[in-house]
Structure 1
Amino acid sequence: MTGSGTHTTGPHPTGPRDCGCGCGASPTATAPAALAPTAGFRAGGPVRPVFFAGQLLTEDDLGGLATWTTGRVRVHNRLRYVSADGYGAVLCGLSVGCDSCARGTVRVGEGHAVDGAGNDIPVRCAEDVDVVALAREFRATGGGCPDPCPPGPERTYGLFLRYEEEFAEPAAPYDPGDGCATVACVPTRVREGHRYSVGCVPEPPRDRLCALLRRRFGDDRGFLAACESDTTRPSADDLTDWLTARLDVNGDLCDRGPLALLCDVPAKPPGNGVQHNRLRKVYAWRAFEAYLRSAVRSLVVVPCPSGCVPEVLIGEVTLDGCDVVRAVPAGRRGAHLPDPAEQRWRSGLARLLAHEVGTADLLVFLLDLLDLTGCLPRPTTET
């Protein structure tokens, strides 16, 4: 996103009558303190116009303000509602139901969605959508469900909502009357709207939280549960084997502490020295504690959206020939956890890490999170 061409993020070029801010002066004059480069500053963010008394405003200045404002709204929406894979969401409404008065038509209720780019898509009134016509367009352009398609005459399609905009309300600019300027109508508004389409029903978004939990803590929930009690705590060999496997696939943690402590674990003695084995278990447990603290702390990071899907799935419609036999709204087809639940566990984690907590508290939090997400279910033999 860029603003007016008259605004830059770095020092302005100097000339015979330039003081560094473009208003003319000695080339040796320095920029005002407010415009002096800041140590460590790195440009790359959006640029917004700045106005002052006596400024000659151009369309670039006002257009830059509008671009900056809409860009901020879209970024906020994207970070608030878009999944890590770039899928938008239905925020409210947008029910999908059958209209008994027209074959092949569904009625979409009023509501609001946000697409993968953060564009708001409001549907202010209920609308009838000809699904059969949209399905014909989809098939005519080479679209089709991947094999295997549903058996029989019935076909199920995804009903999508997409943000669109168009220029509107053209007006003629001021004609100075000198005969040099070409006067033609130009648009004065951008009209925002939407469009419906159908396609194959997409797979559910990937559950990145579960993938991260499995990578951080493995697939054995029983191992973590056993660590809660001194009587069931795994042996030194089991702790070192588990920790070695975890460190091999979690190099992104960037914490040398667990590996250093793991290297300090005494070697296994040839005999069965009780004191030596007890010392090995103490050192292995310290390495496990260091890894657990680092791995749980990494869960604070919220993944940014990595894609930008323009269509928002709002329902699934099943056709039998030219008749709608079923219409199911999609609702919030997004993250594994609903927003309030995710906010609760993230807030609890932040409070937990704000204090010096012990390993027992971290294990309790982690096992509760695994129960909440269902990523690592309890063993079937556990009572």
Structure 2
Amino acid sequence: MTTTGTRDCGCGCGGASSSSSSSSGGGAPPAPGFRAGGPVRPVFFAGQLLTEDDLGALATWTAGRVRSHNRLRYVSPEGLGAVLCGLSVDCGTCAPGVVRIGPGHAVDGAGNDIPVACAEDVDVVALAREYRASGGGCQDDEPCPPGPERVYGLFLRHEEEFAEPAAPYDPGDGCTPAGCVPTRVREGHRYLVRRVPDAQASRLCALLRRRFDDRRAFLESCLGEVRPSSQELTEWLTARLDVNGDLCDRAPRELLCEVPFRQPGNDVRLNRLRKDSAWRAFEAYLRAAVRSLLVVPCPDGCAPDVLIAVVTLDGCDVVRAVPAGRRGTHLPDPAEAQWRPRLAELVERDAGTPELLTFVLDLLDVTGCQPSRDHT
């Protein structure tokens, strides 16, 4: 019997163990304010009658902790796994349509480890044929349709199977099921091909656009000697507040409401008061928006397959195979490791508006969410 690896992302929100509802049974009552919902691990004591449920719960808890650590350490905010090392791709095999995958290690979106201990030959043509037969790609009558060249993504998937069956002890009560039951779960992997996935939009870039708009010139003008007018500040800030209701800070909106209404004529004192009031509201919003970036997003979803290569076929021949997917020993993203310490330092010492604006503009450069100043 074969079973695929778990697709649970490890959030713990899909239901709790029956034992979680009796966390205080027989013991001290839970502390005031305690909220159950985390994983439940078994507790052992002298004289306890252990059952398969107790030992299975311990194995489940341990495996869940490992997956949770892997997800938080290696999985992208979009739920994509990564190749941690190795898994090179080589076309130097004797068989056409076959590539050789080197040893290595990957982690899928659910946090499952996928070790490949030895180099393995993978028949990409056969996998592509299975993919087309299942409805993917083009429907072709020929097993190996000739060109034009066809490009596929080669993926690695974690799978498990029950192994080493044994007959359970029969106490003679007539209740124990007859036959053998598995005593082990053997972990393994499977290769498959699909179309090369489209690049996903960065969640960070989407957040930055929502927090700071996509008009870089406005932020840069706030650093200049001549600041934007009160009208420009209030219009920009009103638009930001309308789409950033998750910022739990009333100060920007209250300060914006204190901006005096524009009057007919050219009252210099009133114009100065309007601009100063709008600038204070802008500064309050900027502080709140920058502080919100302290939150590190958790992985959203758990893609079961890890992209390891992009393979180009021409008929039954592999004409090109290159490593692909999220790779590298510097996970998480080096760009994130570059700006997050700086963000923490700015927030800790309550940096002023010029430093916060400079940080936001540099962040747009580092993440590639907006072009550099030279291209505006």
Q: Secondary structure at the match of 2:22?
A: coil
- The whole-number CA distance in structure 1 between the counterparts of 2:35 and 2:101 is 47
Partner residue in 1 for 2:179: 184
Please give the root-mean-square deviation of Cα atoms over the aligned residues, in Å. Answer: 2.3
- Partner in structure 2 of residue 134 of structure 1: 127
1:3, CA displacement in angstroms?
8.7
Whether the 8 Å CA contact 1:109–1:126 is kept in 2: the answer is: yes
Q: Does 1:173 align with 2:185?
A: no
* AA in 2 matched with 1:308: C
* Structure 2 residue 332 is matched with structure 1 residue 320: no
Deviation per CA, 1:248-268: give whole Å up to 9, x if none: 111111222111101101111
User: Higher mean Cα deviation, 114-123 or 370-379?
Assistant: 370-379
CA distance in structure 2 between the partners assigned to 1:310 and 1:280 by the alignment: 55
Q: Among 287, 294, 297, which residue is 2:288 paired with? A: 294
Partner of 2:64: 71
Deviation at 1:46, TM superposition (A): 1.0
Residue 94 of structure 1 aligns with which residue?
A: 87
Mapped contact 2:150–2:312 kept (Cα < 8 A): yes
1:3 and 1:49 in contact (8 A); partners too: no
Structure 1 215/179 Cα, relative in aligned 2: closer, same or farther at 3 Å?
A: closer
Structure 1 residue runs without a partner (length 5+): 13-19, 22-31
Aligned pairs (5 A) from 1:148-297:
152-177=147-172, 181-229=176-224, 231-297=225-291
Q: Take 1:196 and 1:338, find their aligned partners in 2: how far apart are those partners? A: 25
Taking structure 2 as the reference length, what is the TM-score of the superposition?
0.88
Q: How has the CA–CA distance of structure 1 residues 174 and 328 changed in structure 2, closer, same or farther, with 3 Å as cutoff? A: same
1:120 to 113, 125, 128: 113
* Contact 2:79–2:303, Cα closer than 8 Å, also in 1: yes
CA distance in 2, matches of 1:347, 1:271: 49
AA aligned opposite 1:73: V
Alignment partner of 1:83 out of 73, 76, 79: 76
CA contact (8 A) 1:214 1:376 kept: no
**Equivalence for 1:378:** 372
Give the structure-1-normalised TM-score. 0.87
**Deviation of 1:235 (Å):** 1.2
> Aligned letter for 2:117?
R
Q: Which has the larger radius of gyration?
A: 1
Q: Number of residues paired by the alignment?
A: 355
Greater mean deviation of Cα atoms: 75-84 or 125-134: 75-84
Does the CA contact (< 8 Å) of 1:317 and 1:326 recur in 2? yes
Structure 1 stretches of 4+ with a deviation exceeding 4 A read: 1-5, 177-180, 379-382
2:358 to 345, 352, 364: 364
Comparing 358-367 with 190-199, which one deviates more in the overlay?
A: 358-367
CA–CA separation in structure 2 for the residues paired with 1:142 and 1:183: 41
AA aligned opposite 1:49: P
Once residues 88 and 101 of structure 1 are traced to their aligned partners in structure 2, the CA distance between those partners, rounded to angstroms, is 31
- Describe the SS at the equivalent of 2:115: strand
Distance 2:360 2:372 in 1: 13
User: Could you tell me how far 1:175 is from its partner in structure 2?
Assistant: 2.8
Percent identical: 72
